[in-house]
């Protein structure tokens, strides 16, 4: 890896670090080191990173703002690419916006609300990146990314790039084609919004933010919703009914505010969180014969 590290550093493509702790890049503040950590300063420089990765046949993984992510305590093999400040451009053309995958979703929804554009109100409290939101079809308050995405610019594992339409993204509940069939990085997204009343949009966004503050424990490090809702049931409700709110293993604890959140209550490890996830799965299945599936993505060395 030393040779690859040197090659990347010499390209002058942005931040390049060795053995970077991923606990510094996840919202739950958990995660071991990445062999090599890269934050490209542009899409062009990201292409150069991918050329090095493919030429050397190195494992790689992309992250955004680190929400909905649980990284192993042992870290991640190969190269971790963070889409950050270098890929966060924003262009607004009437009701169509083109935005970089590294852009904050919360910041984006705030910016466009001030222009009276409607469609992203649901995202006002989702603490992830645009790329991550498209990747997992993030949603809340009865809406999601699939309702507004026109197309997405994707960099695939083999280094090729293409624009995928909404239909080609194969969106469904909290998932897209990028999670299983065609792994790739969301470089840019084009959203089709509608012109609305600025005051009404801002008011709705504030209501959504207030609701999240009142019902979700973002005052603690956490990864967001841990489980997908096993519809027609709701994960948080089942966990609460099972009496599991407040249950802890090591430094990981099921939030007393919302059953579908696991918080880092103090020096939690990924193993603590995984043990808690498995305890919830077993308890809910035994009580209700419902199989719980994780929404949070679990990655890294076993």
* Per-residue CA distances from 235 to 47, 160, 218 (Å): 39, 38, 18
**Which residue in 39, 121, 188, 295 is the catalytic one?**
295
Is position 225 annotated as part of the catalytic site?
A: yes
**Which residue in 174, 176, 188, 255 is the catalytic one?**
174
**Which residue in 23, 104, 113, 225 is the catalytic one?**
225
* Per-residue CA distances from 207 to 121, 141, 199, 218, 261 (Å): 10, 11, 12, 16, 21
Residues 263 and 30 sit within 8 Å (Cβ to Cβ): no
Non-local (6+) Cβ contacts of 278 within 8 A are none
DSSP 76-94: EEEEEEE--GGG--EEEET
Q: Which helix (H) or strand (E) holds 61?
A: strand 60-63
Query: What CA–CA distance (Å, rounded) separates 167 from 217?
Result: 35
Residues 273 and 30 sit within 8 Å (Cβ to Cβ): yes
Is position 10 annotated as part of the catalytic site?
A: no
Q: Quick count: other Cβ atoms within 10 Å of Cβ 167?
A: 9
Hey, which residues are catalytic here? 174, 225, 295
């Amino acid at each position: 890896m030393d040779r690859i590290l040197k090659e990347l550093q010499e390209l002058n493509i942005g931040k390049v670090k060795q053995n970077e702790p991923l606990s510094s890049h996840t919202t739950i503040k958990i995660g071991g080191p990445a062999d090599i950590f890269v934050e490209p300063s542009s899409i062009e420089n990201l292409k150069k990173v991918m050329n090095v990765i493919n030429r050397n046949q190195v494992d790689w993984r992309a992250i955004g703002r680190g929400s909905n992510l649980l990284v192993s305590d042992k870290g991640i093999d190969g190269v971790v690419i963070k889409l950050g400040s270098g890929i966060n451009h924003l262009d607004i053309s009437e009701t169509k916006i083109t935005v970089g995958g590294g852009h904050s979703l919360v910041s984006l929804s705030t910016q466009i609300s001030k222009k009276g554009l409607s469609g992203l109100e649901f995202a006002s409290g989702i603490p992830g990146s645009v790329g991550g939101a498209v990747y997992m079809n993030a949603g809340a308050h009865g809406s999601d990314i699939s309702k507004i995405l026109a197309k997405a610019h994707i960099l695939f594992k083999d280094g090729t790039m293409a624009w995928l339409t909404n239909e080609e993204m194969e969106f469904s509940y909290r998932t897209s084609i990028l999670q299983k069939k065609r792994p790739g990085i969301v470089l840019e997204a084009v959203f089709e919004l509608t012109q609305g009343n600025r005051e009404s949009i801002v008011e709705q966004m504030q209501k959504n933010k207030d609701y999240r503050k009142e019902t979700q424990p973002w005052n603690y490090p956490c990864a967001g919703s841990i489980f997908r809702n096993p519809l027609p049931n709701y994960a948080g409700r089942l966990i609460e009914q099972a009496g599991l709110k407040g249950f802890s293993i090591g430094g990981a604890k099921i939030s007393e505010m919302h059953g579908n959140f696991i918080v880092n209550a103090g020096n939690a490890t990924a193993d603590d969180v995984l043990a808690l996830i498995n305890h919830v799965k077993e308890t809910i299945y035994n009580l209700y014969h419902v199989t719980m599936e994780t929404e949070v993505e679990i990655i890294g060395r076993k």
